Amino acid sequence: MTPGGTPEPGGTTAPDAPEDRSPHAQAVVSSHELATAAGTEILEAGGTAADAAVAVAAVLSVVEPFYSSVLGGGTWGLYYDADPDEVTSLDGVGPVGSAATLDDYRPRAGDFGMHQAILPGAWDGWMLWLEEYGELELGEVLAPAIAVAREGYPVSSEMTYWLTLEEANIRQSPVMTDLYIRDGDLLDTGDTVYQRDMADTFEDLVAAYDGAADRSTGIQAARDHFYRGPVAEAVVAFSEQNGGYLTLEDFSSFSAQIVEPISIDYGEDVTVYQNPPNSQGITMLQALNILQNDDFSGRSPDDPDVVHLQVEAIKLAFADRHAHVGDPERTDVPVDELLSDEYARSQRARIDMDRAARWPIDSGLDRQASDTTTFHVTDRSGNAAAVTTSLGGQFLVVGDTGIHINERMSFMSLDEGNVNAVAPGATVRHTSAPFMALRAGRPYLLGGNTGIDTQTQGQLQQFMCVVEFGMTPQQAVAQPRFVSTAFPASNHPYEADNTLQVEPAFPEAAVQELRRRGHDVTVGAGIVGTANMLAVDADGTEARLGVEPRNETADGTVLPGPSSR
């Protein structure tokens, strides 16, 4: 709970928020220009941040099927609801299929296939946001995605990379071959992709919605069509035919949840929110807590002391993740202890400024226990949405549904004693973890960084760049990034490499000094994921964006002036 606020069911009241609300900036930033355009269109039509977020997520499902899917993946999101002035967390992550066993999964853990899929929870999560925070009809929200899927879109260089990487798997499936191979060759940059089966599935969901008497029952009808109707039946049939673990009961019994986020106070007037376990978002908050009593004045983001401090704080946070963070229904995750000021001070005392720690690294608590996309939206009423959504990185399409299914089983441990072990009905420790920071009770920073275990590391760096080093969001996102691998990776084969990966633009003098301190520094491109950031000024009327320069399709829009609607 943040100071000055009283917790409400499913949310956390922001501290001492002012009563007088000015018209607010409307903005969208995402990893693809077509998704940003969809969100902008929805805001201009009078939609809320939730309506726009669903539109953005749906279009990203079409144009980035290698990253996320509102139909086949899972999602975490943070939402600031201006009235009643609270931040909530969306848990749209499904469980492991009830037919799964560790003995069956272990020999196939590194293989491509339907056995890698957990229950797709994202759709129910998006419907929950529309029900709680949305205003528009489902057909309006999905119209941009349906149009892009049916009319086609150009292959980006990012898609070309993923198609090439997954070519062998794509050629295993006639459905994927029809989608991504033409005249015997993979589609190339500039070619047109059509996702017509996905468009059909979206249209069927809209038809289910439209057949209901009102908006609320329509949303439930769209849920039922997915989880208790034709979509579930198609996915389960495909799963049974292809060695998967999902059952109709898994679908019918699932529901996404709006839950209370976790948070820390950073300085005097900033509160940073993250998604609770089973998300790994707690690692960002732990690292920030360790760092916040250090003095960074007069320093730069690539100062060796600054980088060393952040890297060592990250290592300690991820050591705790490995030891303690899993499905909260199956293990006691000591959130309060991990985020306490006393624990942060004790962790800071473990950092040797002249020597890099290497895995194995013990947790400071004596207790027993494919990729992604991110986007952010603010609307005319001051509501805000920060989202990171993912399906892994598996090009596997479920029959003729157009659904690209997730591979989240590969993010679970094969060790029966691990808090994130494979078990039927268990919820994976999810790497997706957007953050939201409020300043004096108002939305301030919305951010996310993709790339499995890079996510919270990149977010930490971007937050520090803005808050401690006075950068703009664009400068923060463009700043050369670093990634530690001094802990077991989230995904199979779960290796700890003990390297510090930095981008080529990182200063050579800093690289050499970090090596002197014992960091095994490797320099290379393509190691840091992609990031987007949205910053709102103190009175909420203006927004600034950080658009990922490493991604040619990334785009952001700030609408010209508050909407009159």
Catalytic residues, by residue number, are 372
- What does the alpha-carbon distance between residue 296 and residue 66 come to, in Å, rounded to a whole number? 38
| Three-state secondary structure string covering 481-541 | CEEECCCCCCCCCCCCCCCEEECCCCCHHHHHHHHHCCCCEEECCCCCCCEEEEEECCCCC
Task: Give the phi and the psi of residue 368 in degrees, each rounded to 5.
Answer: -105, 150
The tokens describing 240, both together, are 């049974």
> For residues 263 and 274, is the Cβ–Cβ distance under 8 A?
yes
- What does the alpha-carbon distance between residue 363 and residue 204 come to, in Å, rounded to a whole number? 49
Give the other-Cβ count within 10 Å of 193's Cβ.
Answer: 20
Residue 367's Cβ-count burial label (10 Å; 0-12, 13-18, 19+) is exposed
The tokens describing 373, both together, are 């996309």
- What does the alpha-carbon distance between residue 333 and residue 331 come to, in Å, rounded to a whole number? 6
- What does the alpha-carbon distance between residue 36 and residue 33 come to, in Å, rounded to a whole number? 5
- What does the alpha-carbon distance between residue 345 and residue 278 come to, in Å, rounded to a whole number? 25
**Which are the contacts of 63, defined by CB distance < 8 A and separation ≥ 6?**
32, 34, 35, 148, 153, 156, 159, 193, 553
> For residues 503 and 482, is the Cβ–Cβ distance under 8 A?
yes
Task: Tell me, rounded to whole angstroms, the distance of Cα 98 from its chain centroid.
Answer: 25
**Which are the contacts of 52, defined by CB distance < 8 A and separation ≥ 6?**
28, 38, 39, 40, 42, 43, 377, 379, 385
Please tell me whether residue 105 adopts helix, strand or coil conformation. Answer: helix
DSSP assigned state of 541: S
Instruction: Please work out, in degrees rounded to the nearest 5, the angle formed at the alpha carbon of residue 172 by the alpha carbons of 99 and 147.
Output: 90
3-state helix, strand, coil in the chain (%, to 5): 35, 20, 45
Please tell me whether residue 1 adopts helix, strand or coil conformation. Answer: coil
List the one residue out of 15, 64, 43 whose CA is nearest residue 551: 64
Give the other-Cβ count within 10 Å of 192's Cβ.
Answer: 11
- What does the alpha-carbon distance between residue 80 and residue 477 come to, in Å, rounded to a whole number? 23
Task: Give the phi and the psi of residue 96 in degrees, each rounded to 5.
Answer: -65, 140
> For residues 113 and 122, is the Cβ–Cβ distance under 8 A?
no
- What does the alpha-carbon distance between residue 309 and residue 210 come to, in Å, rounded to a whole number? 54
- What does the alpha-carbon distance between residue 117 and residue 73 come to, in Å, rounded to a whole number? 9
Alpha helix ranges (H) inside 292-348: 304-324, 335-338, 341-348
Segment (H or E) for 228:
none
